Amino acid sequence: MTDLNVGVLGTGMVGEAIATRLVEVGYDVVMGSRDAANPKAVAWAERTGGRAGTFADAAAHGPLLFNATPGGASLDVLRAAGDLAGKVLADISNDLTSAAVKPVAAGLQAAFPELKVVKTLNTVNCEIMVRPDLLSQPHTMFVAGDDTDAKALVKGVLAKFGWPERDVLDLGGIDKAFAMEQYLPLWLALWGVKGDLRFNLSVVS
């Protein structure tokens, strides 16, 4: 287990985009799902040179995990992931139904006090998450979490994905994560009028 080992929880479109880009920029990645033989994860591993495993395999693989599971399922996923003490979880999930936005990151942090949860990347489409240079102008990525070292680790990955340091805005503790999550209805409305997923916010002064 090295500092370049990353576990990605989730095999959906977001998990695949993150895991693929992590491999691309030099990380050793295990994509975790409920079943180590998950066909999507196995196909991804064959295609990229990453590995497929269970949630516990992914969690055991390295010091940094990405939560790319649906927000409403994330707590159960982490409960299936074994010992998480001391690990950093970059939580990029959302839990949005037509009825309401529910908090994810703060709940995960409360349930796993020894896990260092960092909220980020949940405010853009997965293509923009890993290729911020696809937009024509500078745009902002938010980060929130209680542990400074954990945030530095995650910011390092953001930098490798192509997020310039000046565009990464640290909002403070994990109590700020729900503010990021509550932006999602506006993101959906913007998607509706723009008809394209390639957009993001820039905070302008």
Cβ 180 to a copy of itself shortest distance, Å = 6
Cβ 183 to a copy of itself shortest distance, Å = 5
Between CA 57 and CA 186 the distance in angstroms is 36
Binding mask 132-171 for a copy of itself (x = CB under 8 A): ---xxxxx--x-x------------------------xxx
Number of residues binding to a copy of itself, judged by CB under 8 A: 35
C-alpha distances out from residue 99 to 2, 96, 104, 141, Å: 42, 8, 16, 26
43, 133, 164, 202: which one binds a copy of itself (CB under 8 A): 202
Cβ 104 to a copy of itself shortest distance, Å = 14
Rg (CA), the chain: 16
What is the dihedral sign for C-alpha 115, 116, 122, 127?
negative
Binding mask 179-198 for a copy of itself (x = CB under 8 A): xx-xx-xx-xxx-xxx-x-x
Helix or strand (DSSP H, E) at 91: strand 88-91
Closest-CA residue to 66 (of 113, 19, 1, 124): 19
Interface ranges with a copy of itself (CB under 8 A):
101, 135-139, 142, 144, 169-172, 176, 178-180, 182-183, 185-186, 188-190, 192-194, 196, 198-205
